[in-house]
Structure 1
């Protein structure tokens, strides 16, 4: 957080955002700030080539980087023009509002908004939409429980305070500078993702395999000297005991479940479930986690989410839908860890549970998983370290990008 404060102070010195004089700012209804563009498009009868659904818009991003085609959809849609803002009126809490870079059409679950340039500069408008003031208001006026949605009839009557036109260019320059920083870090992060994927594929299937030194196996091309072995030959694993809600207490031994596995990390702050020390000692000691246990979610939407138990997490025990792993003798921890969080592992799991009503796997499935085993422990160590370095780089880039996004939102909220 110190980096955010430092950067924020340097930006503040230009405009003194902490002491903005808003005495001459004016309040406008939203329909005075923006127009609702409601032109209809039939995907089966249009020359437009670009379709944008809410799934193509990233949360908290001004930029739309993906799109579909008319063949993807049916039914009446909304036309947008280059420069319009596509705002997700369904589930506004996802904070989706992106700038259209071309003409096209979008989901009817969006609003197509166009800035009224006599009130707000079009370049400033998307930043205003991403402010907490606007987004929180949008959430508050949404209706419906399962899929809360905003009605234009309600939104248009909401009031917001805006700076005078003569001040807006200063804020545009400020916000655009920070946005360029976010974009630059996003580009670097995406390149690292591509690099990590290619390195993972090369690492878990042998680096620089020549045509004369490879063999085709059930899990892809491998160096001729490598083996394909069942996971049971390289790892010990154990499924959680299946605790019930009535067994949980506020104190005792902390219990891990699928909720604690997010973004490749083990986050124990997300739950507060324990088993009493007495019950743990009587029934569950053999489910206690050790430092460096690899833990994986085995059911639900989080299946195959991954984490590693650290010393500061202990004492800790498993619950149902979590499986812990340890490498057996002759197997490098980093290499096993990288395999268990790889696309190669998840791809095998997906094949084994195809047709299930809900993603769910256990020891029965894991016994059928195949493992690419290099010839020597030294090669495992080398590959494991290389992949770990790539992951560390990714974590650093994600942290830096998050800091820049915090800075961007802080600046926007100081103005709006």
Structure 2
């Protein structure tokens, strides 16, 4: 329902239908094949811009004509409420309302008004249709528009554009900060996994005799890949190279049986999906197994002493430790666990898995358009796992 508020002096309330009407100017593609065509998919709503366009020569049916400075408004879901002001003449989809510029209205003011949350909610709640709901102008036309004098509209538009420009600049800076933070994390992990992070500590504790008996019992083996990796790094004297299967066992999770369904209430049998395994821990909504499903896959669990690693999907290679509260939870087939660890601290192993050297090995072992680790072979190539002990 539209909310009413007291307007500043000089403003007035008018319905959208009193202010503008959709353009009825149509054109056959053959009349001007060089006109640019704008579809709903071309409007970048959050920026109120057109991110691309086609050409009417490719369009076979009659389309609506628009002119530079008109307001284009998408009335069909999932593109409902997409709005922009083009800086060129063209034709557009009939699922786009075209509002021509008028003498008492700054069309950029109208564009910004149509983007406000209240208008968006109103259009969404008043759209009709089953598969592709849309808002018709008859319903939209009754919406009340707070209309300031034209000179104030210009000032409002200028203020909005200035503020949004600052927001865009801030977002760009934040994006750069995120990239800097990502590289910083990578450099910290690299330093940790190459012994540089604890270099001062080793110098201060030179008199301590490290226990390396477990390390000495682990054999790297003869892998061509291992020789390449070893040559790239100079590890501290007390460190060793090894492979994952030398310090633990790699086991996979289990797919749900056909016809099984997870539930969103606690059955005491949490099922950890790949989407839950993020940022070194468990996040997001946890779904649960029903008793019969749990009985079929009860052996495929993960302990808080294990290390998980995702092996399918966009987040392939994510690794970490499950919190104590999920100790014994069932594990998806889209992840693996390294269990029965010896000679390595599980939290250290999880960090090493997230380091660049291991991530590079994982990427080299993925296959297909949808990344999948082939039979877990990323665990075969050597991983630098063990530090000072």
Give the TM-score, by structure 1 length. 0.55
Residue 331 of structure 2 is aligned to residue 323 of structure 1: no
Query: How far off its partner does 1:144 sit?
Result: 0.9
Distance in 2 separating the partners of 1:159 and 1:341:
57
Residue 25 of structure 2 is aligned to residue 39 of structure 1: yes
Query: How far off its partner does 1:311 sit?
Result: 5.2
Higher Rg of the two aligned structures: 2
- Cα distance change, pair 49–55 in 1 and its aligned pair in 2 (3 A): same
Alignment deviations for residues 262-296 of structure 1 (CA, whole Å, 9 cap, x no partner): 99x97514xx5224799869953533375763336
Give the corresponding residue for 1:146: 131
Query: How far off its partner does 1:121 sit?
Result: 2.1
- Cα distance change, pair 286–87 in 1 and its aligned pair in 2 (3 A): same
Residues 62-101 of structure 1 correspond to what in structure 2 (within 5 A)? 62-70=48-56, 73-91=59-77, 95-101=81-87
1:350 counterpart SS class: coil
Residue 300 of structure 2 is aligned to residue 286 of structure 1: yes
Query: How far off its partner does 1:135 sit?
Result: 0.7
Distance in 2 separating the partners of 1:141 and 1:242:
41
Give the corresponding residue for 1:333: 353
Alignment deviations for residues 233-259 of structure 1 (CA, whole Å, 9 cap, x no partner): 999573443162376642535434466
Give the corresponding residue for 1:367: 374
Residue 265 of structure 2 is aligned to residue 255 of structure 1: no
Q: 1:50 aligns with which of 26, 36, 40?
A: 36
Distance in 1 separating the partners of 2:245 and 2:60:
51
Q: Which runs of 5+ in 1 are unaligned?
A: 1-19, 196-224, 227-231, 353-364, 379-416
Give the corresponding residue for 2:369: 350
Query: How far off its partner does 1:74 sit?
Result: 3.8
Alignment deviations for residues 17-51 of structure 1 (CA, whole Å, 9 cap, x no partner): xxx95264422221233332243344455343533
Residues 15-414 of structure 1 correspond to what in structure 2 (within 5 A)? 22=7, 24=9, 25-43=11-29, 45-70=31-56, 73-91=59-77, 95-118=81-104, 120-185=105-170, 238-242=252-256, 244-245=260-261, 249-257=265-273, 267-269=283-285, 272-275=286-289, 283-284=297-298, 286-288=300-302, 293-295=308-310, 304=314, 315=326, 317=329, 322-324=334-336, 332-335=352-355, 338=359, 348-350=367-369, 366-367=373-374
Instruction: Return the structure number with greater helix share.
Output: 1
- Cα distance change, pair 238–246 in 1 and its aligned pair in 2 (3 A): closer
Deviates more, 1:93-102 or 1:251-260: 251-260
Contact 1:253 1:315 in 2 (8 A): no
Query: How far off its partner does 1:60 sit?
Result: 2.4
Give the TM-score, by structure 2 length. 0.59
Contact 1:85 1:126 in 2 (8 A): yes
Distance in 1 separating the partners of 2:319 and 2:65:
47
Give the superposed CA RMSD.
5.2
Alignment deviations for residues 322-356 of structure 1 (CA, whole Å, 9 cap, x no partner): 434769999951357755997x888x42289xxxx
Query: How far off its partner does 1:160 sit?
Result: 3.1
Give the corresponding residue for 1:10: none
Give the corresponding residue for 1:208: none
2:100 counterpart SS class: strand
- Which protein, 1 or 2, shows the higher relative CO under an 8 Å CA cutoff with sep ≥ 6? 1
Q: Which runs of 5+ in 2 are unaligned?
A: 181-227, 230-243
Contact 1:249 1:275 in 2 (8 A): no
